[in-house]
Amino acid sequence: MPTISTTDGTQIFYKDWGTGRPVVFSHGWPLTADAWDNQLELVASYGYRAIAHDRRGHGRSGQTWDGNDLNTYADDLAELMDALDLRQVTLVGHSTGGGEVTRYMGRHGTSRVATAVLRGAIPPLMLKTAANPDGTPIDAFDAMRVNLRADRSQFYRDLSVPFYGVNRDGADVSQGIRDAFWLMSMTVGLKPAYDCIKAFSETDLTEDLQKIDVPVLISHGDDDQIVPIQAAALKSAALVKDATLKVVPGAPHGLVGRFEQDFNDDLLSFLKS
């Protein structure tokens, strides 16, 4: 399996398909690079170089006790891009992956980046605070931590319901998709998974968004039950200098069915623009 070794010795697994201008994908929590397989195959088929890595603690990458935070995730992404000498990159991040690529640009700049795509992404801040009243109360994240530790297998099975909007009228989500979600989630170490809840919910990415100086497509479903749009995309679009906001009616958090196809079309159009 292709890996890089970071400065702290962590092995980071990555996929590298096709040739051409690079498109680098960062996955959501609690998944792996496999969540992007459809998009990796798609863009590689259209003449791009498609790359996705397993975040540390997830999948085939090393499960570290420490470093399960957005700064380290962004640094790992930087080391991957440096090791592969990627330039004129389009960064694509979903959910926590959107926070990762945002922190990367805020922390490491955009000298290697041409454009970026944030889909259902966590920025600027998920947590409800006095300054962020549209956010999600801390009690919801505390409950996630309790349930994760108590029975992570059942927790992940239950989480797939709001993730893909299975609980909505007319939802067309196969058991196979939910099984794949569970399987990927179970490869994540318990400690990294637990720590990542704090990372994705409590990290304020406002300043990072304000530093971004490349075009960004911000795509978000208006029925996202995991990262509600009011505290996420609607605010991010106002903070990024060159942002295009696409609100997807009825779309859940996860890419599934017709919503995935719509995203694929938008992604290809954005890459060609």
Q: Among all residues, which ones are annotated catalytic?
A: 95, 224, 253
> Are residues 99 and 93 in contact, defined by beta-carbon separation less than 8 angstroms?
yes
User: What tokens does 185 get?
Assistant: 């989630």
- Cα separation, 138 vs 129, in Å, equals 9
In the chain, where does DSSP find H-type helix? 37-45, 70-83, 96-108, 138-150, 152-164, 175-185, 190-202, 206-211, 233-239, 257-272
- The 3-state DSSP class for residue 246 equals strand
DSSP letters for 60-93: TS---SS--SHHHHHHHHHHHHHHTT--SEEEEE
Closest CA to 110 of 203, 20, 240, 3: 240
In contact, 110 and 212? CB cutoff 8 Å = yes
The Cα–Cα gap between 140 and 136 comes to: 7
